[in-house]
Chain A
Amino acid sequence: MTRAGWLRLAVIAAAIAVLELACRAGLIDRRVMVSPSEMATALIGILASGTINGDIARTLGVVAAAVALSITLGFALGLLIHALPRLREALDPFFATYYAVPIFIFYPVLIAIFGLSLVPILLIGVATAIVAMIIATLNGLDRVPRVLTKIARVHRMGRLATAIRLQLPAAAPHLFTGVKLSVSYGFIAVIAAEFILAPAGLGRDIADAYADFNNRRMYALMLFVLLIATVVNMALHAWDLRWGERRGRGPP
């Protein structure tokens, strides 16, 4: 590991240690925060009891479904929009604005339409994640060398074959950026939706624990969600780096 890497580890460890000491010494009130070690013990207890297995499966299932839908549909829409330059020009202002508007404020509207079920959560997840994938697909396709498209024509490859066997691999690094963003956005939207209003799920569990003044449980669940999100994001990041090196792109 590099020097910066070790230092980073030391900074994080020191921050946790300071928090632990401050909690134990009573500098931080128990009603505000429990110590990191207590969060971890409480989390292990909750996980061992198996009481939140259903909520874990539910939340991760919705995230996975929203991300899978966003990636496949986003790629397909990206291909379509890329093939129609006039449509793309007209859509450009929308893409530039999409992540500037709080899409999430339409979550209550989705609840009014579809009722309090999995559907609005899935839809808000897809709505948040899909446009990142469309934009990444367009960026990737823009950078496919023209010589490849000519080769496809020379070999008389069909639209679908060109897309899957040629454009997909050539645009892959950019597509992976889209995948990474989709996963992170999907996670954020689903957890936020569960947190604001949902019949079940990890986000709802945290909100419930907060309402019950059950800080031990609340912080344990918070730690769990943040750990999962961090591990997933870091795994994707590491994969991206390794892939980049193999393609001779070097780390960004």
Chain B
Amino acid sequence: MTRRAADTLLIVIVLLIAWQALHHLVGETALPAPAPTLAYLVRLVPTSRFAENAAATATSFAFALILAYGIGLAIGAWMGAHRLSGAVGEPILVALYSLPKITLYPMVLLIFGLGISGKVAFGALHGVLPVALLTMAAIRNISPVHLKSARVMKLNRWQTILTVLFPATLPEIVAGLRIGFTVTLLGVLLAEMFASKQGLGFLIINAMSLLQSEEMMTIAVLLFAFAALANALLLWMEHRLHRRV
């Protein structure tokens, strides 16, 4: 193991000790210790209750992600290729990106209803913005040399898109997809926390009102681990693509 990895492991251990210490400080009912949380996780995951709620979250998240990626890439491609649209639209998207979008959730609920479509719409609403912004930046940042070479080689429009534009913009687009993944997940979870009777976000809020801190902490840690792993995977892809270009 490298020294660096050992240092990182050391910090994980320090965090676990801090968790244990906080547990002793605030008591069993407020925060369970790491070991019982892990034991609870092993018991919770095989249950059908967990499977149903995890599946509900996964379905909403998958649909939201497809929408966010599709719409985000389309808007980003359009605003990246058409300069004036980009100049007009970018500040609007940036302003929307930094707003507390949770305030819009009641409106989403009134339009799409309390079922899965509301959750999907709210998740997609979060994800569209970073995907669009980073795709736009990726297209704008293409080096003019690439485009000139394509012209010199007399590539037609589709050949240019497939063999020049797509590979050149891919690393940055993947960065947008990575951030879009994270915020879409957050959007879906927020939606489940506020007004839903299904999903992992609902389980957390439900566990809190029933004072089941073990379940609350377990699901929080699980989601945490899932997001961290997915991010690491996408980050790894991004680095590989960057090195290739």
Contacts and interface: CB of A to CB of B under 8 A. Distances in A.
Interface stretch (B40-48, B63-71, B94-102): B94-102
A90 B189 contact: no
B194 interface: yes
Interface string B17-35: 0000010001001110000
A197 B103 contact: no
B133 interface: no
B232 interface: yes
B106 A109 contact: no
Given A94-B11, A101-B231, A113-B31, A206 B106 contact: yes
Interface string B187-198: 001100110000
B228 interface: yes
B127 interface: no
B87 interface: yes
Contacts of A32: 110-111
Interface string A187-231: 110011001110000010011011000010011001001100110
A209 to B, nearest CB: 8
B10 interface: yes
Contacts of B185: 102
A229 B100 contact: yes
Contacts of A97: 228, 231-232
B223 A105 contact: yes
B58 interface: no
Interface residues of A, number: 54
A142 interface: no
A194 to B, nearest CB: 9
B4 A109 contact: no
B204 interface: yes
A245 interface: no
B56 interface: no
A233 interface: yes
Contact of A89 (B4, B95, B109, B227): B4
B220 A184 contact: no
B93 to A, nearest CB: 11
Interface string B209-245: 0010100110110011001101110010000000000
A196 B26 CA distance: 23
B31 A191 contact: no
Is the contact region of chain B dominated by helix, strand, or loop, or is it mixed? helix
A102 B189 contact: yes
Bin chain B's interface residue count: 35 or more
B207 interface: yes
B170 interface: no
A222 B7 contact: no
A187 B107 CA distance: 19
A91 B8 CA distance: 7
Contacts of A234: 95
Contacts of A46: none
A105 to B, nearest CB: 5
Is the contact region of chain A dominated by helix, strand, or loop, or is it mixed? helix
Contact of B227 (A90, A102, A215): A102
Contact of B100 (A99, A187, A197, A209): A187
B88 to A, nearest CB: 5
Contacts of B223: 101-102, 105
A9 to B, nearest CB: 9
B78 to A, nearest CB: 14
Nearest to A94: B11
B106 A112 contact: no
A203 to B, nearest CB: 7
Interface in B77-116: 84, 87-89, 91-92, 95, 98-107, 109-111
Given A100-B228, A104-B189, A90 B4 contact: yes
B92 to A, nearest CB: 7
A45 to B, nearest CB: 19
A188 B110 CA distance: 21
A160 interface: no
B213 A192 contact: no
A90 B110 contact: no
B119 interface: no
Interface of B: 4, 7-8, 10-11, 22, 26, 29-31, 84, 87-89, 91-92, 95, 98-107, 109-111, 178, 181-182, 185-186, 189-190, 193-194, 201, 204-205, 207-208, 211, 213, 216-217, 219-220, 223-224, 227-228, 230-232, 235
